[in-house]
Amino acid sequence: MRTVVEGVSKAYDHPKGPQTQALGRVDFAIEEGEFVALVGPSGCGKSTLLNIVAGLLAPSTGRVRFHGASLNGRPRTAVVFQDLALFPWRSVEGNVRYGLEELGVARRDRRRRAREWLALVGLEGFEAHYPHQLSGGMKQRAAIARALAVDPGLLLMDEPFSALDAQTRMDMQLELSRIYEATAKSVLYITHYIPEAVFLADRVIVLTGRPGVIREKVRVDLPRPREERIKVEPRYVEYLERIWGLVRGVGGAAEGTGS
Ligand SMILES: Nc1ncnc2c1ncn2[C@@H]1O[C@H](COP(=O)(O)OP(=O)(O)O)[C@@H](O)[C@H]1O
Ligand SMILES: [Mg+2]
């Protein structure tokens, strides 16, 4: 599925006082199977944009269109948030089965598919555990399995690893790139952590400060599978420096150029 974000902007109304223009006009596409990371300073409208793409929030202008790939009975998007991702009263497997129940998948298939996805994210043996019995990294693995199990056209992730400690976060970046390479899903990944964006993405879209507009779209031409050692290679470091500069407002056009 190809996702097209067309002229989307968002102003929040306030009961008293002026509106907040959270997001300026943005236009971009996410190609079938592409991993796009969206970076920008805190408060620039990243979560607002993700919620609009997810259909959880109406834009003030513009629209989001989904093209191609038959989506018969499949949701267009599924979201992994930073926290509050799992139902505490359901087991890990029960959480992953949830979306499949909503889709009307037969009971036997639900169990099989839930177990397959849990194995893919490295949670084999933890199916009967409850969220409070899991580490932060394991909770996010379960949330990823739950989102992928419904076979969405686009996986949306809003700072999914921001609450994790540094080591777990690095492990999860590797895990996510492995999962992405294994599933070839389209992904829109939001982060304010630039090294993570460069490590994971095929393309990094840099937003300006609030109201966020696209400063630049940067294609990340690094080989896959992505491995930890890429982080010490000069071309990886060059991407970091370039994108740090763009986020600070150095270089690049005010509107996105390039691919
Ligand atoms: N529901 C809301 N009502 C009013 N203002 C909001 C709401 N959600 C976010 N905002 C404001 O919109 C701006 C962008 O927020 P957000 O999209 O969460 O940014 P980011 O995810 O990039 O940190 C911020 O100034 C924030 O305070
Ligand atoms: Mg946010």
Which ligand gives the minimal distance to the CA of 159? 2
* pLDDT tops 80 at residue 84: no
CA of 157 to the centre of ligand 1 (A): 17
pLDDT in tens, 203-229: 999 999 999 999 999 999 999 999 999
Kindly list the protein residues whose Cβ atom lies closer than 6 A to any atom of ligand 1.
12, 20, 22, 42-48, 210
In the prediction, which pLDDT does 255 show? 45
* Nearest Cα residue to 35 out of 138, 182, 143, 167: 182
pLDDT one-digit tens code per residue, 114-150: 999 999 999 999 999 999 999 999 999 999 999 999 9
* Cα 54 to Cα 48: distance, rounded to the nearest angstrom: 10
Report which ligand 1 atom has the smallest distance to the Cα of 23.
Answer: 14
Residue nearest to ligand 1 atom 25, measured at CA: 43
CA–centroid distance, residue 251 to ligand 2 (Å)? 25
Ligand that lies nearest to the alpha carbon of residue 160, given by its number in the listed order: 2
Nearest 5°: CA angle at 157, between 156 and 159?
A: 155
pLDDT bin (cut points 50, 70, 90) of residue 17 is confident
Angle, alpha carbons 252-256-259 (nearest 5°): 105
The answer to which of 22-36, 74-88, 111-125, 164-178 has the lowest mean pLDDT is: 74-88
- Residue with CA nearest ligand 1 atom 13: 22
Q: What is the number of the ligand 1 atom nearest to the C-alpha of 20?
A: 5
